[in-house]
Structure 1
Amino acid sequence: MRATISDLPPAVLRGVSQVDLQSDYRTAICFVIALFAGGWRFGAFGLLGTAVATVTAWFFGAPRERVTLGLEGFNGTLIGVALVLYFDVRWVTVLLVILGAIMGSVLTAALNALLTPHDLSTLTAPFCVITTVMVVGAPTFARVWGGRGLASPPSAGHPGATVTFTDLWQGLFNGIGQVFFQDRFYVGMIFLLGLLFAGPLVALAALVSSAVGIVVALLLGAAAADIGAGLYGYNAVLTGIALCGTFVAPTPLGVLYALVGVVSATVLTAFVTDLFRPVGGHTLTWPFVLVTWTFLAAVPIFSGVRRATT
């Protein structure tokens, strides 16, 4: 059954919350508020990307359930937020977001066709692919790049591994906000409030995962500024939400399994960052995607871990 036009507005709203794998409308409202709290450009371009991706999927006849739950829009959300962050508010950015969201919608369908037989979700892979292609290729086009330099992490301006208490508590919330490229702790708090509406387990998984990301980064000697900015937390947060209750049953062994995944995503963050840096790419949510796919694909082999019931 195909979605109707009246289904589209709530579907766009839920598309924003599906970035964190949630469909509760209260979570969606909090997430939109959080984006605008981070800056009007993030809210506006995030909604633009979500709307274009959702309408594209609807136009080509995606299943109604996927459209109404926001599953066709969330990659568009991240494409919109990422591109306005990297390319600023310009007419060419609007065109890139529209094009990227359309491409992301088609890629979402293609990946669904490939992954569904294996009981795997596309997650944010379409966003990662489209954004990486656009950002790495941008210097070729003068109207897109406009003389910009390669983006540097916070540690480039504030080197050192001496972590302060401020780095720790702000990094805890920034790890949640950085899922949407937000580095203001109060924005992360709004996102956390939205996750609470989705359920205490979801919010707890996000908070604990962000904390684990900080601990792992500390133990390995990551730069303090990057820890405080939440750069080692957001992939951990998404992985924790995915593997603890969303796709994997939160049994004692399941929670331990999720914890291993969170640690893996944190370590992989450094690898992916260094891998993409020479070509101007960004870490994005690649660690979350790769780790979650791996851990979900392994579930049928482990008798002590089972998939969550839907």
Structure 2
Amino acid sequence: MSQVLFRTDGRTGALFCVALCTVDWRYGAYALGGAALGTAIARLLGTTRERAGSGLDGLNPALFALGCAALLGPARPATALLAAAGCVVVTIATVALSRLLSVWRLPALTAPFCLAATALATAAPAFERLRPPPGGTAALAAAPAALPPDATAQAFFHTIAQILFLDRWYAGALLLAALFLANRTAGWVACAGSAAGVLTAWALGAPAARVADGTLSCNAVLTALALCGALLPATPATLPYALLGAVTATAVTPAVAALAGGHAFTWPFVLTTLAFLLAARSFSRLTASRGRRRGNPLAVRRRLRLPSAP
């Protein structure tokens, strides 16, 4: 679960599950079950113990299972069966995409989840047992009719919470606290990414409700974390670069959502991050590392020989 925000920390993952359960315990169950199933399938098929232990095999299945609960409703038996079957497919897709992108030394990120979730959102209305309930994900991402006085603070935390399909500000605060527990630098980068995303959505004239609920800016947090500390070193040079990526991810979210059938998921994060990683290879100041730090996922990635910028 902690790999959702590029961490390899059991305490952080546990707090992420608690944040889900504060909204609905079934969301926590779906996410944790997806992570466990994906990891078990990967181990059964022969992945290394080190990779499985890092959580990389459970990341995309966990997001897909949670997405099923968010899109289709967690109470229906068909949702649970589809989530379980989808987790197996997503696990295999993760390996396939990782091998494909390794040719360019790029990570798969959450692209396997995005592919499966987009297919689900597109196909579900055609099947009666899978058809989303009236209002779609309104229970999870309902926006207020107008911005309250504390809208800025709410939007800041909603942006973080929407990474896990949640719209409760306290869930976002708990996710942020868990990230600070794992790595303070990552926590501050997430704060900067959230602020950049909210300000971008507001500056571009997005509807007040969309700014407040965080759905337009949640990809900004993931992009900032990826480009400053996770996939590129956390340095004074990479922070502005990461924030530019956060702004870009927010700006392209409506277009991506329109192309993906109305749900952007984490496509803006995936596409923006991959493009910025490719560009970073031409800028030596962005790829110069200050060395390994405790809790830095770069160390895990090197041990696992995952794609990295040169």
Q: Give TM-score, length-normalised by structure 2.
A: 0.88
The one-letter amino acid paired with 1:114 is L
The one-letter amino acid paired with 1:269 is T
Take 2:66 and 2:210, find their aligned partners in 1: how far apart are those partners? 20
Q: Does 1:211 align with 2:192?
A: no
User: Which digits, 9 at most, give the CA deviation of each residue in 1:152-174, with x for residues without a partner?
Assistant: 6745x73x7xx443221011011
Consecutive unaligned residues of structure 1, counting only runs of 5 or more, are 1-15
Q: Of 242, 258, 277, which aligns to 2:242?
A: 258
Q: Of 211, 228, 243, which aligns to 1:227?
A: 211
User: Which digits, 9 at most, give the CA deviation of each residue in 1:168-193, with x for residues without a partner?
Assistant: 10110111111100110001111011
Q: Does 1:108 align with 2:89?
A: no
Identity %: 38
1:138 corresponds to? 124
Map 1:60-75 → 2, pairs under 5 A: 60-75=45-60
Alpha carbon RMSD of aligned pairs, Å? Answer: 1.8
Take 1:307 and 1:122, find their aligned partners in 2: how far apart are those partners? 22
Take 1:111 and 1:249, find their aligned partners in 2: how far apart are those partners? 24
Secondary structure class of the residue paired with 1:106: helix
2:154 corresponds to? 170
The one-letter amino acid paired with 1:283 is A
Q: Of 166, 181, 203, which aligns to 1:182?
A: 166
Q: CA deviation at 1:115?
A: 1.6
Q: CA deviation at 1:274?
A: 2.8
Q: Of 252, 255, 258, which aligns to 1:274?
A: 258
The one-letter amino acid paired with 2:277 is L
Take 2:157 and 2:221, find their aligned partners in 1: how far apart are those partners? 10
Take 2:202 and 2:9, find their aligned partners in 1: how far apart are those partners? 34
User: Which digits, 9 at most, give the CA deviation of each residue in 1:42-80, with x for residues without a partner?
Assistant: 101111111111111111011222100000001111111
2:273 corresponds to? 292
Q: Does 1:237 align with 2:221?
A: yes
Take 1:63 and 1:147, find their aligned partners in 2: how far apart are those partners? 40
Take 2:104 and 2:70, find their aligned partners in 1: how far apart are those partners? 34
User: Which digits, 9 at most, give the CA deviation of each residue in 1:168-227, with x for residues without a partner?
Assistant: 101101111111001100011110111011111111111111111111111111111111
The one-letter amino acid paired with 2:236 is P
Map 1:47-86 → 2, pairs under 5 A: 47-86=32-71
Structure 1 segments, 4+ long, off by >6 Å, are none
Take 2:150 and 2:65, find their aligned partners in 1: how far apart are those partners? 30
Task: Tell me how many residue pairs correspond in the alignment.
Answer: 288
The one-letter amino acid paired with 2:23 is G
User: Which digits, 9 at most, give the CA deviation of each residue in 1:275-298, with x for residues without a partner?
Assistant: 33xx4x411000000001111112
The one-letter amino acid paired with 2:100 is L
Per mean C-alpha deviation after superposition, the further-off stretch among 234-243 and 109-118 is 109-118
Q: Give TM-score, length-normalised by structure 1.
A: 0.88
Take 2:59 and 2:35, find their aligned partners in 1: how far apart are those partners? 6
Residues 70 and 137, structure 2, Cα contact 8 Å, conserved in 1: no
Take 1:150 and 1:54, find their aligned partners in 2: how far apart are those partners? 29
Secondary structure class of the residue paired with 1:252: coil
2:283 corresponds to? 302
